[in-house]
């Protein structure tokens, strides 16, 4: 699935193209389901999955060649007329990023990127047709389509995979080509095909849970229906007022207004030291004078990434400017929108804040692995609070989540990572107005721990609980939190009744 940043870029490319002529593709190809549009999405997904390049605006030396010649030729089948459209849609993306000044600051020079793309485009048709480089999944899906099977038809694909697993060596060689010589185990393997992936496993070996379509542990139809207490919610107008009063929306507006006239950014796409201090001041955050980079302060970098993800901020090569969402957000904060619109916008942003902004770090990097690990824990913590339906000790929530997901004897390092992710998710929930945190007035924290976390994160004040244990800290959902969690439960198909209907 494309990340939100890529989805927005595809949308913006289509809008940009709507007012332009002579872009080399028929108009119908650029409809949402058109061949050119689908080819662009396919290539961005390939960058995301196999090149660890999830940011569609960041292009470094060699990226064009790696995408078209190394990845597409080896892994992507010629659907959506990819062999025809591939280089053209990458060129259009580059044209768009250049014309709108949307390249990431760390991208290579555009003139050099265009030359590299031209060289890769010249090699692309031959590379796509070179069966000697095709990977297993590409060979299998080419054969599936050649046999008239729709890859979207799970039943037909499963039947094809079962037949191929029982096929003769001659039939397998016809599909696998040179792979059969390089990996002779494929001539006797059992094949499993799901969601664009192909696995070859030993005959009779159990199928990995990752490739099971109807695993009892993952299939919703096989799970016992969760039981959630009936929620009491106030009127929609009261919920909308609470959303407008949340620090989350207030800080995002402050971010956007701070960048309205444009602010210079570094090659990493971050503000300078002085602008880092001025951004903190604009949001009413107290940070140490020694903070020279947003990454030196967890609160600042979280809000910066969130503001970019929800398009309150937008990077334009050498600067950051206010994004297109700022105007709508300002109207919401001024009370100029109806309650339903206010809550929709607030919820869209709150969902992203709690789960964490779009993961733009490489998946195999330490940052990427931490982001992927951390993402589900905020929503899980909110769901647990919804189930408990009362204020509860934060330590009890942490213990329950660790035990439920990792067992009673989880390794200490795993417990620490989980607890950190839960605390960060709950902090985002508190900033969004969904979580109420109560810290005892006489609460004490180990001085050494306090010094350490305060030194790493800047000035935490009453937010120390979000990074370190504070005895007696209690957490619970606000009415706005119950509203958000209930909507997400309903979207998942869970039964989450109302104690009494909203007015």
Rg (CA), the chain: 26
Using 50, 70 and 90 to split pLDDT, how confident is the model at 493? confident
**pLDDT exceeds cutoff 70 at 24:** no
Between these two residues, 157 and 445, which has the higher pLDDT value? Answer: 157
pLDDT above 90 covers a percentage of the chain that reads 61
Answer whether 0.85 is exceeded by the pTM.
Answer: no
Mean pLDDT of 163-171: 92
Task: Give the position of tokens 């796509």.
Answer: 128
Tell me the CA distances in angstroms from 98 to 30, 93, 105, 156, 447, one per residue in order: 20, 9, 12, 44, 52
Residue in 461, 455, 459, 453 with CA at minimum distance from that of residue 420: 453
Tell me the CA distances in angstroms from 11 to 27, 258, 293, 317, one per residue in order: 15, 26, 32, 19
* pLDDT value of residue 451: 58
Mean pLDDT of 18-43: 75
In the DSSP assignment, the letter for residue 232 is E
* pLDDT value of residue 217: 45
| Separation between Cα atoms, residue 304 and residue 285, nearest integer Å | 13
Q: Answer for the pair 422, 401: CB distance below 8 angstroms, yes or no.
A: yes
* pLDDT value of residue 477: 97
Query: For 92-106, 176-190, 192-206, which range has the lowest pLDDT when averaged over its residues?
Result: 192-206
User: Residue 195: CB partners within 8 Å, gap ≥ 6?
Assistant: none
Q: What is the largest CA-CA distance in the chain?
A: 77
pLDDT in tens, 100-155: 999 999 999 999 999 999 999 999 999 999 998 999 999 999 999 999 999 889 89
Mean pLDDT of 460-480: 84
pLDDT in tens, 261-298: 899 999 999 998 889 999 999 998 877 787 788 888 88
* pLDDT value of residue 176: 93
Number of H helices, E strands in the chain: 22, 10
User: Residue 308: CB partners within 8 Å, gap ≥ 6?
Assistant: 314, 315, 323, 357
Mean pLDDT of the chain: 87
Using 50, 70 and 90 to split pLDDT, how confident is the model at 21? low
pLDDT in tens, 199-230: 888 887 777 665 665 544 444 444 455 578 89
| Separation between Cα atoms, residue 254 and residue 283, nearest integer Å | 6
| Separation between Cα atoms, residue 32 and residue 36, nearest integer Å | 9
């Amino acid at each position: 699935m494309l990340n939100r940043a890529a989805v927005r870029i595809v949308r913006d490319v289509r809008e940009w193209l709507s007012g332009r002529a002579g872009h080399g593709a028929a108009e119908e190809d650029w409809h949402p389901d058109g061949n050119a549009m689908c080819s662009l999405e396919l290539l961005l997904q390939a960058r995301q999955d196999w090149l660890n390049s999830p940011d569609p605006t960041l292009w470094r030396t060699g990226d064009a060649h790696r995408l078209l010649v190394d990845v597409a030729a080896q892994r992507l089948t010629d659907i959506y007329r990819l062999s025809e459209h591939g280089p053209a849609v990458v060129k259009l993306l580059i044209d768009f990023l250049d014309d709108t000044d949307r390249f990431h600051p760390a991208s290579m020079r555009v003139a050099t990127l265009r030359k590299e793309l031209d060289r890769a485009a010249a090699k692309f048709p031959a590379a796509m047709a070179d069966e000697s480089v095709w990977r297993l999944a590409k060979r299998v899906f080419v054969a599936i389509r050649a046999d008239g099977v729709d890859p979207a038809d799970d039943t037909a694909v499963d039947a094809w995979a079962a037949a191929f697993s029982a096929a003769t060596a001659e039939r397998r060689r016809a599909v696998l080509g040179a792979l059969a010589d390089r990996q002779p185990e494929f001539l006797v393997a059992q094949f499993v095909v799901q969601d664009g992936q192909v696995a070859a496993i030993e005959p009779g070996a159990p199928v990995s849970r990752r490739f099971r379509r109807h695993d009892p542990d993952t299939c919703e139809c096989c799970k016992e229906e969760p039981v959630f207490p009936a929620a009491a919610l106030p009127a929609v107008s009261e919920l909308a007022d609470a959303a407008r009063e949340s620090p989350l929306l207030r800080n995002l507006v402050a971010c956007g207004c701070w960048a309205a006239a444009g602010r210079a950014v570094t090659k990493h796409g971050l503000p300078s030291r002085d602008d880092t201090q001025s951004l903190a001041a604009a949001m009413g955050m107290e940070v140490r004078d020694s903070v020279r980079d947003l990454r030196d302060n967890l609160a600042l970098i979280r809000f910066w990434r969130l503001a970019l993800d929800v398009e309150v901020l937008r990077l334009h090569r050498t600067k950051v400017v206010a994004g297109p969402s700022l105007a709508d957000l300002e109207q919401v904060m001024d009370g100029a929108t109806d309650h339903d619109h206010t809550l929709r916008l607030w919820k869209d942003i709150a969902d992203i804040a709690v789960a964490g902004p779009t993961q733009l770090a490489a998946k195999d990097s330490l940052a990427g692995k931490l982001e992927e690990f951390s993402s589900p824990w905020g929503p899980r913590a909110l769901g647990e609070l919804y189930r408990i339906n009362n204020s509860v000790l934060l330590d009890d929530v942490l213990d329950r989540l660790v035990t439920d997901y990792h067992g009673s004897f989880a390794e200490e390092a795993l417990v620490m990572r989980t607890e950190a992710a839960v605390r960060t998710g709950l902090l985002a929930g508190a900033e969004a107005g969904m979580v109420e945190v109560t810290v005892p007035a006489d609460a004490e924290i180990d001085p050494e721990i306090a010094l350490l976390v305060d030194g790493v994160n800047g000035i935490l004040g009453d937010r120390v609980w979000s990074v370190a244990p504070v005895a007696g800290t209690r957490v619970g959902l606000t009415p706005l939190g119950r509203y958000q969690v209930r909507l997400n439960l309903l979207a998942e198909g869970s039964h989450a009744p109302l104690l009494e209907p909203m007015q």
